[in-house]
Every structure is written in structure tokens, then in C-alpha cells.
Amino acid sequence: MNNQASAPAIPASFTNVIGVTIEQDKYAVLTIDQIENRNNVIDQSMLDALEWFVSFVQSNEQIEGAVITSAKSTFIAGGDLNSIEAGINRRPLPARDALLAECFSLSKILRTLETGGKPYVCALNGVAMGGGLEIALACHRRILAEKPRLFLGLPEVQLGLLPGAGGTQRVLRLTGITTAVPFLIEGKPVSGGKALELGLVDATAPADSLIEHALAWLQSEPEAVAPWDKDSYRIPGGTATTNPAVKTFLEQIEAAIQKNTQGNYPAPLAILRCVREGSILGMDEALGFECARFVDLTLDPTSKAMIRTLFVHKTKADKLASRPRGPKPRPVATLGLIGAGTMGSSIAFAAASRGMNVVLLDRSEETAERGLDYGRNKLAHRIKRGYSTEEKGQEILSRITPVADPIALASCELIVEAVFEDREVKSAVIKNAGKVVGGKTIFASNTSALPITQLAENHPNPERFIGLHFFSPADKMPLVEIIKGKQTSDETLAWAMDFIAQLGKTPIIVNDNRGFFTSRFIGAYIDEGIGMIAEGICPELIEKAARSLSMPMGPLTISDLIGLDLSLQASAQAKRDLGKDFEPGKSLAIIQTVVDAGRNGIKNGKGFYEYENGSKAGIWSGLSKVYQLKKTQPSIKDISARLLLVQVNEALLSMQEGVLNSPEDGDLGAILGVGFPSWTGGPFSYFDRIGAQIYVDECDELQRKFGNHLAAPDIAITMAKQSEYFYHQVNR
């Protein structure tokens, strides 16, 4: 490119945010490059700089049009972590009118850009999320770089919010209602190809000539008017008032949202309102309506809880904020994986997909080779759907070496044992591996409950031993629970965290105790739900109450999926380990009754549920013959309260006993690991949301009605007396 005129004098406060060059004496190329950030993000400095540059373009007679692009590998990654965290902790909140003006600031800038009479083209050189995509949508043309793993999205709904800078309105007007609604209420990023197909971008160009293509479009003397600002404009496919099919679609979507969210998540319905109402309003009125709904959501405790846990805390965990600072980072080049069953195979596939070499060990080369079938099936599915290629698939599989001789583990920097959940079996595997690799190699046991400190006794160097609890399927589930044994060194912990980061997963750190955190947390839910059957509570009512909380599955459904016989085996192992300290729980006798009837769960087609072709066909009628139903059933409200509070109680006990180091880890582990409803922000966010005293009062009421096991833990009672919170009082 040829700079024929000098760039303007940029105010010093903006030079570290956006740069500008003047091309061909008449086109401004605005290059976003926040020097202090790894990625460009929407914060106040970005808003101030963008407003100044838009004003500069509009007021400078020499400038005929502008390109907006980025100097970084991404375009704009979304909102700024620090700004968002400060926002949810802010007290007192400004008055509603002031909050509306504040939230409308980016939307106002973009509307000025859109209606200023000069054409803007966005050269999208990388990932654009949230406000980043909204900036692109306000430009008169969008050209996307042709490169892999370039995604565009408006994921705000996943944080309890909606796109508040014109995202709902411009997507609606570009794609039509029936396309816009799924994109907006799901919040899932789309690939560049899909974005082009949907009409979110206008064209693609090679990455190395993206700016040239953008300038060429400006040279074509395009109209600097958005389609929706023309009198002739009509929304593609019509609206609810002009097309009966669209009216029916919106009614069906609203019913589905109500059913799926159970009223716990306000954001999807708010988005639907923005689309429905915005489709019959002029653009400026629609943007105001969108902003008002955005403010409603920001004031709702649901969004605050979700933002805190799923954005602020998750981002910090992903950046390894809790990693010991001393040890230098040490990536894993070659991973050892012992056990080629489903869990071991899925971990191996996850590691190979991230570029690691994997030695997959099993008792024979034949069984180890079968461990590659997991990856083969996954890749076949991806290739069929166009998400991968045969060449890429073969490259991933070539990184996994199936072996039967433990000597192959000698080349590995880290070894993960993923054999059957049995202390004796795991102990033998750990001893045999230790004989080969000695005590220098990091050794991790994948276990959901077995105490790591005791398993470490089988390793030649317990300081190099750690627990890594993966969740099934390991290549898909986002969380790994890292269990620090009593002798686990900081170096071992740091390198284990480095490995989890390599896998692209979120780590939480817990201290050693049977069940760690996530297993005992979900175990409390299952035990309470199944235990209600012996009280004469209707099983269907129990499952319905779980759905009313937005739990992903009811306790009976989960138990059938896990396998009732496996639950008995786990209890038997716990009894052997704990002896007289073993507490069987309320559900054990009921599970035993079902298993004695030959019902092991979905795997043999019969458990708490009857199954037909793998689908549930109703609760097993035999249950009511053993456990008579009460004539008067408790309310859904009481049942759901029990299911929720037993889990929160278990989280509080985990903190009280020192298993958890922080409420952040507990909230992340509960939501990402075992599906605790994200509208709560996690058990500790939920506790803060209602307040310690109200929580204790609710526990007292449930204890009076249903038993002492529902009593509030000591930590809750103490916090109530002292008016304490786990976080700042942002949920009040």
C-alpha cells in the first residue's frame, strides 16, 4: 500500500488502541491494536478511541471511506475481563437512565458510523466475538480472511445477557427472523464458511491481501447506506405480522424456550422479544429497545452470577491464575496413557488432537490398538460433517502409538493412569509403571473418588504423584479436577496444570479427600433424589423437580446412565476403604433392590426406567410395589429445594473441611464438571445470592419437614451470624 498523505495527529491516549494510515489520499485504514492486551477487547479505552476515529472520518473532507481491521491474530475477542469484573462488583449501581446511557455508548458510536454518509468496510482478519462482531455488522461491508479456525459469534446469551450494541437488530435484518433467532439464542460461534452462508459476511479474501480487497471495494464507489435505512427495505422472509409461518415459528420458539429454561434463564426470552419487537420498529427505535432489554438483564442476579463464574473466573482459571509461580512452564511432548478403555482412549484422542504424541498402553497390543477406535469414530463423524479432512484425521491418529510393553513409557514427560476404578487394580498399575520410569516422571491417576495420597504410596516418589479427574467423554468435557495429595510438590502441580492448559481445558484444584469435590457434590444430589423414593415420593415428581431447576438430568436418569451395578461396586470399594466410618447413604438400599431385580440401567435396557430402543419408556412399575407412594405428595417447590440445597450444603462442607481452596473452584467445578444449573453461578454464588441468613432459614425449614440431613453446615451458620459473603455483595 502507498501512503500518499500523512496520518492525522492522534491524541496520545488513543495511540495504544487504534492506529491509522491514509491510503490513496482518501481512505482511512483504522487498525485496532491494544498494545497492553494480548487480544483486542471492548473496554473504555476502545470505546473512546473508536468514537474519536469515527468522528475524524466523518468530519475530514479528504476521507471518502474507511477500513476497520486488526493488527493482532484476532479481530476483537469480546469484552474486557477487568471491566466486566468491575461492573458486576460495582456498588452502588447508577440510576437506570444513567445505566441506559452507559450501555448505549457503543451502539450510539456504531449508529453514527453506519449513518454518517461514508462507507466502512470491515476487514475481518481473525476471530470476532460479541462487541467485536457488532462493530463488523455496523460496517457497510464485511470481508473475511480465508484461514482456518476463524469463528464469529455473539455468545452473550451464555452469560445471561444479549448483544447490546445492535447485534440482535443487524443479524435480524441481514438474515431474517428464522435464521437470526437460533443463532442468537444458542450463542454458538460459527465458522467463516457458515458466516458467509448465513449472510453475516459479504465476501472472503486471502489473508495476505485482505486490506487490498477492502480498498478495492471502497474504490468501487459503494453506497454508504445500510439496507435497512432504505425505504424499500423489507426483512428477509417477513415478520410475524406479514407472514403466518414466521408468526408460528416465533410461537413455537417461545414455547420451546419456556420448556427448556423453566423460567430460570431470562436472556433467551429477552432476545426473542428484541427480534419480535425489533422487526416491526424502525432501526433507531429497535436499538433503543434492545439496549433497554440489555439493561434489564444486567440488573438481574442471574447474569451477574453467570458472568462471574463462566467468564471472569473461568478466564482466570484458563490462564492458570492458581498455578504455583516458581516452576517454569513445561509442555508435554509425549504423554503416556495407561488403559485403552473409553476414558483412556478419549484422553489419548484429546491429547493427540492438541499436537501431543501419545503412548497408549494396555495389556496387549490388540486391546491397545482397539483404543484408537474411539478417535477413528470421532474423526469419521467430523469428516462426514465437513469439520475435518481425511488427511488431518490420519495426522492425529498417527500421533497415538498403541503398545503392550511398559518400557515404552520411558520417553514420556507425564503419565496418566486411566484403568478400572478399583484400588487394587490401580495400585498394581502404579507399582509396575514406577519400576519402568522411576520417580522423576510426573504420574497422574485418573480417578473420581479414590484418595490420591493413598494411591501415591505405590509410587517411588509421592511428590511426583497427582490426581487428574477427567469427565466423560474426556475429549469433549471442559473441566479437569486436579487433586493435590499430601506430598504432591508445587512443581508437579504446576506441570500438571500446564498439561491441562495444553488440552484446552479448565482446571480446578482441590485437596485430597474421598470423592474430592465433584463426585461428592453430584453424589449428594443423586443420593437425595433416589432416597426420596423410600419416603414414598413419586419418582416422576422427583425427576420433574430436577428439570424445574434446569438440571441436565434427573437423579434417576443419571444413575441409569452411570450403571446401577457400578454404583454398588463403588460403594463396596468405599466400604472396604473406610470400614466402620462408611456411611451407605439413603440411596444404596434402593439401588440394591433395583439391581437385585436384574436392572443395571440403560446398558441392559432396564433400570429405574424401562427402555425401548435406548429411549426411556416410563418408570419401572416394580418400584411402586416395593416403595408405596404417599397419598399426599410434597410440592415441586419443596422437592426442588431439597435437590438444590443438598448440593450447596455439600459444597459448603467441602469448603469447611478444606477440600476446596476457593469458592471460585467450587462454582466452576459444579457447573462445568457435573452440570449444576448455570443460572445460579454455582453453589457459592447461589449462597451469596440469597444471603447466608435466608439460606440457613431455608435449611431449617427443610430440616423440620424432611430430616436432619438437610441441616445447614456450621460454616453457613457462622457466616449468617457475621453477615458474611463468599464474594462481594453483588447478588443482593
Q: How far is CA 681 from CA 164, 653, 671, 727, in A?
A: 21, 18, 8, 12
Q: Which of 64, 85, 156, 650 is catalytic?
A: 156
Phi-psi group of 189: left, alpha or beta (phi > 0 → left; psi -120 to 50 → alpha; rest → beta): beta
Give the count of alpha carbons within 13 A of 650, CB side only: 25
Asked about 481 being catalytic, the answer comes back as no
User: Which residues lie closer than 8 Å to 589 by C-beta, 6 or more apart?
Assistant: 534
CA neighbor of 529 nearest in space, from 676, 640, 677? 640
Whole-number Å distance between alpha carbons of 78 and 209: 25
Whole-number Å distance between alpha carbons of 423 and 417: 12
| Residue owning grid cell 495444553 | 502
Q: How far is CA 64 from CA 55, 322, 539, in A?
A: 13, 50, 69
Q: Which of 23, 85, 134, 650 is catalytic?
A: 134
**DSSP symbol at 79:** B
**Strands 334-338 vs 65-70: parallel, antiparallel or unpaired:** unpaired
Whole-number Å distance between alpha carbons of 196 and 213: 16
Distance in angstroms between the alpha carbons of the first and the last residue of the chain = 55
| Residue owning grid cell 473532507 | 61
What is the SS3 string spanning 228-296?
A: HHCCCCCCCCCCCCCCHHHHHHHHHHHHHHHHHHCCCCHHHHHHHHHHHHHCCCCHHHHHHHHHHHHHH
**DSSP symbol at 488:** -
Burial level of 146, CB count in 10 A (0-12/13-18/19+)?
Answer: middle
Give the count of alpha carbons within 13 A of 598, CB side only: 1
Asked about 134 being catalytic, the answer comes back as yes
Q: Would you say 687 and 168 are in contact if contact means Cβ atoms under 8 Å apart?
A: no
Q: Would you say 30 and 40 are in contact if contact means Cβ atoms under 8 Å apart?
A: no
**DSSP symbol at 729:** S
Burial level of 208, CB count in 10 A (0-12/13-18/19+)?
Answer: exposed
**Strands 334-338 vs 190-191: parallel, antiparallel or unpaired:** unpaired
The alpha carbon of residue 660 and the mean position of all alpha carbons in its chain are separated, in whole angstroms, by: 21
DSSP 555-599: HHHHHHHH-HHHHHHHHHHHHHHHGGG----SSHHHHHHHHHTT-
List residues with catalytic annotation.
Answer: 134, 156
